[in-house]
């Protein structure tokens, strides 16, 4: 009994060490904001830009609102009533031409949205992306390491995870032989579920302990961020797991762990898959090529699955809300009427999203554990 709790205690402390690795996602966000600033902009398409100019006169643009909530931003908009805007301007950290520039993003709140030679345009092909004024293409690029909305949300959820799990670890070390109570008893079934049904059954009795910190961290990080994304007000409501950069970092971690812990049998099974006829391997190595592509696509699918599930859920919920405003713009009474049905659908979608939040965290963790199990497979002795 005592050794059981001591083992869990060690698992917790090791889990906490892995959480700071997720703070490396900010670096990847510099890549993400360039991609999202250029690619997810409807104004690129000539048909879209005409409609956009017309709709700006009308006042409510559903596509813009949804994209603004789903993509990253240099400020955190909390509230907007009429002309009163409550927002949190976040720090901007730029690295351009060998020099570091740091300032608050509220400096961009002037007429031409520019400060110190950088500008953050609000429309056009570089919307939402910090560019250097008068830059020639081919010159040094602007590397954006700002604390954006997604990064701040990652900090908040990492802080929450640390608080919860340090308190659980401490209560385990204090009540060594007593029954668990409080936060400990809330999360112990989940933790034991991950240990027994995910880790032990996929990786095996002998080697699962090494991977438990990573699996626990992945599961609770994804689960907490999914749940926080469903809460509409600060500090929730930031689309962390629906950001492909964040899920890419987690999939890369899984890929690195699988590759590093792959033993001889893992690599032999890739190049010389057992049970496959020889003519698929020898003159033209079809099977090895398929297996090597599989090594890359398995983490890639992990990334896209989580990203698409979360982003689609947010887009659907926001779409139901915009239905109310679209109908309301046509006729106020129609807006009120539609709002009954739209709110009902939205509640249903939110409940479904709660289920999807847990299932996606579970599937990501389970598949990571399966890949670790495949990497450390021992051949059966006949």
Partner 1 sequence: MTLLAIILQIAGNFAAIAKMGAGLGAGIAVIGAGIGIGNIGSSALESIARQPEAVGDIRSNMIIAAALVEGVAFFAIVVCLLILFI
Enumerate binding residues for partner 1 (CB under 8 A): 39-42, 44-48, 197, 301, 304-305, 307-309, 312, 359-360, 362-363, 366
DSSP-assigned letters across all residues of 122-187:
SSSTTTTS-EETTPPTTSPPEEE----HHHHHHHHHHHHHHHHHHHHHHHHHHSSSSPP-THHHHH
Phi, psi of 194 (to 5 degrees): -65, -40
Cα distance between residue 371 and residue 376, in whole Å: 9
Q: What are residue 91's DSSP bridge partners?
A: 104
DSSP string covering 211-255: HHHHHHHHHHHHHHHHHHHHS-STTS---STTSHHHHHHHHHHHH
How many H helices and E strands in the chain? 12, 8
* Shortest reach from residue 308's CB to partner 1, in Å: 3
Report, in Å, the least distance between residue 244 CB and partner 1.
9
Q: Between residues 308 and 374, which has the closer beta carbon with respect to partner 1?
A: 308
Closest-CA residue to 142 (of 113, 119, 109): 119
Q: In this complex, which beta carbon is closest to partner 1, that of residue 315 or of residue 377?
A: 315
Are the CB atoms for 75 and 105 separated by under 8 Å?
yes
Which of residues 164 and 308 has its CB atom nearest to partner 1 in the complex? 308
- Residue 306 CB, shortest distance to partner 1, in Å, is 9
Q: How far is the CB of 357 from partner 1 (least distance, A)?
A: 12
Q: Tell the smallest beta-carbon distance from residue 189 to partner 1 (Å).
A: 14
Minimum CB separation of residue 287 from partner 1 in Å reads 22
Which of residues 22 and 364 has its CB atom nearest to partner 1 in the complex?
364
């Amino acid at each position: 009994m005592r050794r059981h709790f001591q083992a869990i205690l060690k698992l917790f402390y090791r889990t906490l060490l892995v959480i700071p690795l997720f703070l490396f996602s900010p670096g990847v966000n510099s890549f993400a904001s360039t991609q999202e600033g250029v690619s997810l902009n409807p104004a690129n398409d000539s048909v879209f830009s005409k409609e956009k100019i017309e709709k700006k006169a009308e006042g409510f643009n559903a596509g813009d609102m949804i994209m603004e909530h789903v993509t990253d931003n240099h400020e955190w908009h909390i509230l907007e009533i009429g002309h009163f805007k409550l927002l949190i301007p976040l720090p901007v950290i730029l690295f351009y031409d060998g020099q570091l520039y740091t300032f608050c993003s509220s400096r961009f709140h002037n007429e031409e949205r520019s400060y110190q030679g950088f500008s953050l345009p609000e429309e056009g092909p570089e919307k939402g992306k910090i560019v250097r004024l008068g830059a020639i293409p081919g010159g040094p690029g602007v590397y954006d390491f700002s604390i954006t909305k997604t990064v701040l949300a990652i900090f908040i959820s990492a802080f929450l995870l640390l608080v919860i799990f340090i308190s659980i670890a401490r209560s385990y070390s204090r009540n060594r032989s007593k029954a668990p109570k409080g936060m400990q008893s809330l999360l112990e079934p989940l933790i034991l579920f991950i240990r027994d049904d995910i880790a032990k059954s996929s990786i095996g009795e002998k080697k699962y302990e090494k991977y438990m910190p990573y699996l626990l961290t992945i599961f609770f990080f994804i689960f907490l961020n999914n749940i926080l994304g469903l809460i509409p007000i600060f500090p929730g409501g930031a689309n962390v797991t629906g950001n492909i950069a964040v899920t890419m970092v987690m999939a890369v971690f899984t890929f690195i762990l699988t590759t590093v812990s792959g033993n001889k049998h893992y690599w032999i099974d890739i190049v010389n898959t057992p049970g496959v006829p020889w003519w698929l391997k020898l003159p033209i190595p079809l099977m090895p090529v398929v297996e090597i592509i599989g090594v890359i696509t398995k983490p890639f699918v992990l990334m896209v699955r989580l990203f698409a599930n979360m982003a689609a859920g947010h887009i659907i919920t926001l779409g139901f809300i915009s239905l109310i405003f679209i109908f309301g713009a046509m006729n106020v009474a129609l807006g009120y009427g539609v709002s009954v049905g739209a709110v009902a659908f939205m509640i249903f979608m939110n409940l479904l999203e709660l289920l999807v939040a847990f299932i996606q965290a579970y599937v990501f963790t389970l598949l990571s554990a399966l890949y670790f199990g495949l990497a450390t497979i021992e051949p059966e002795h006949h």
